[in-house]
Amino acid sequence: AKQDGRGVFRFFEPALDAAARRRRQLELDLREALFTGQFRLNYQPIFDLARDRIGCFEALLRWQHPSRGNIPPAEFIPVAEETGLIVAIGEWVMHEACRQAAAWPAHVRVAVNVSPLQFRNSGFSNIIVQALTRGGLSADRLEVEITESVFLDGENGVLQVLHQLRAMGVRIALDDFGTGYSSLSYLRSFPFDKIKIDKSFVDLVAQDPSSAAIVHAIVDLARALKMETTAEGVEDRDQLNELRDQGCSSIQGFWFSRPIEGDAVLAMIAGPMSA
Ligand code: C2E
Ligand code: CA
Ligand code: CA
Ligand code: CA
C-alpha cells in the first residue's frame, strides 16, 4: 500500500516484467502442487562396485504441472528455495522417501537431497525422526545429501545438526563435490560417509588427463579419510572402467539406469543387473 498526498491508501501491483510474473505464478503453482499432491519421487540406482549390486537409490523430485507438463527440478527448486517453500516440500520428500524405502530389502538405502534452507531450519532433526518413525525405516538406511553451500552462512549450527544425525545412525553424503568453494576445509570439519564426485569431472574422466587426475585425487583423498565415493553422471562404459580402475566405491548415471518410478524399484533390485 502506498499513501498518496491526500492520505488515501492506494493499492497497486508493481509493474512486473514477464520473468518476474512467471516466477510469481510458479510460486503459486508450487504451493498448489504441494497441497493437491502433484509431486512424486523417482529413484535412481547407485551401483556398489565392490559388492556388485545396487546399494542405494537417490530420491529425485518430479513435478507434473497440470498445464505445463513435467517441470524439471532445476527450474522449480531454486524458486522453492527463494520463497522458503522448500522447507515444506522437503518435508514431504523426506516422508515419502522413508515410507517407500521401508518396502525395499534391508541392504538397500535411500538417499535424499536436502537444501541448505531446509537443513538450517530448526525443526530439521525432528522431521527426520518423524519421517523414519512413521515410515518404519531404520536410520542407517537413510542417507542425507547436502552440498557445500550449506556451510556458507557459518559452520556452527550445521555441524551440530550433522552430529545429531550421525548419532541417530543417519548417513551423510557431500553432494556435487568439487563445484563449490574451499571444499577441503569441510572435509576436515566433519567425517562425511560419502563424497559424490560431480558429473562435470566424470564427463571427461576417460578422455581428459586433467579430469582423470582430479577424480583420482578425490578418490585417494576420500579413501584416506575413510569416506566412500560415488561418481555421478556416468554415461558410458569407458567412464565406468576408468572409475572402477581408480577405486571409486559406486557409480550413478544413465549408463546403469535413469531415475525410475517408485513402483519399479523392487523389480530393478530383483533384476539380473543387481544380482
Ligand atoms: P543432483 O542431486 O546432483 O541429482 C543428480 C541429477 O543428475 C538428477 O537430475 C539426475 O537425473 C541427473 N543425472 C543422473 N545421472 C545422469 C547422467 O548420466 N547424465 C545426465 N545428464 N544426468 C544425470 P534431476 O533429477 O533433474 O535433479 C536435478 C537437481 O535438482 C538435483 O541434482 C538436486 O540438486 C535437485 N533435486 C532433485 N530432487 C530434489 C529434492 O527432493 N530436494 C532438493 N532439495 N533438491 C532436489
Ligand atoms: Ca544429489
Ligand atoms: Ca549431485
Ligand atoms: Ca548437481
247-275 mean pLDDT: 91
Q: Is the CB of 236 under 6 A from ligand 1?
A: no
Nearest ligand to the C-alpha of residue 230? 3
Distance 122 CA to ligand 4 centre (A): 25
DSSP letters, 88-126, are HHHHHHHHHHHHHHTTS-TT-EEEEE--HHHHHSTTHHH
Q: Indicate which atom in ligand 1 lies nearest the CA of residue 114.
A: 44
Residue 182 pLDDT: 62
Residue 270 pLDDT: 94
Helix (H, G, I), strand (E, B) or coil at 174: strand
Distance 265 CA to ligand 2 centre (A): 18
Better-scored residue on pLDDT, 183 or 110 = 110
> Which residues are registered as beta bridge partners of 170?
none
Say if residues 165 and 126 touch (Cβ distance below 8 Å): no
Beta strands in the chain (DSSP E): 2-3, 9-10, 39-48, 53-65, 69-71, 109-113, 142-146, 171-177, 194-197, 228-232, 250-252, 260-261
ipTM of the complex: 0.98
Distance 9 CA to ligand 3 centre (A): 49
Distance 111 CA to ligand 4 centre (A): 14
Residue with the smallest CA separation from ligand 1 atom 25 is 60
Nearest ligand to the C-alpha of residue 116? 1
Better-scored residue on pLDDT, 189 or 267 = 267
Per-residue pLDDT of 78-122, as tens digits, reads: 999 999 999 999 999 999 999 999 999 999 999 999 999 999 999
Q: What is the pTM of this model?
A: 0.93
Per-residue pLDDT of 192-201, as tens digits, reads: 999 999 999 9
Distance from C-alpha of 78 to C-alpha of 61, rounded to nearest angstrom: 13
Distance 179 CA to ligand 4 centre (A): 9
Distant-in-sequence contacts of 267-271, Cβ < 8 A, 24+ apart: 268/45, 268/54, 269/54, 269/104, 269/105, 269/108
Distance from C-alpha of 125 to C-alpha of 131, rounded to nearest angstrom: 10
> Which residues are registered as beta bridge partners of 41?
61
Nearest ligand to the C-alpha of residue 146? 2
Residue 20 pLDDT: 87
Per-residue pLDDT of 118-163, as tens digits, reads: 999 999 999 999 999 999 999 999 999 999 999 888 888 899 999 9
Where residue 275 falls among pLDDT bands split at 50, 70, 90? very low
What share of the chain has pLDDT > 70, as a percent? 92
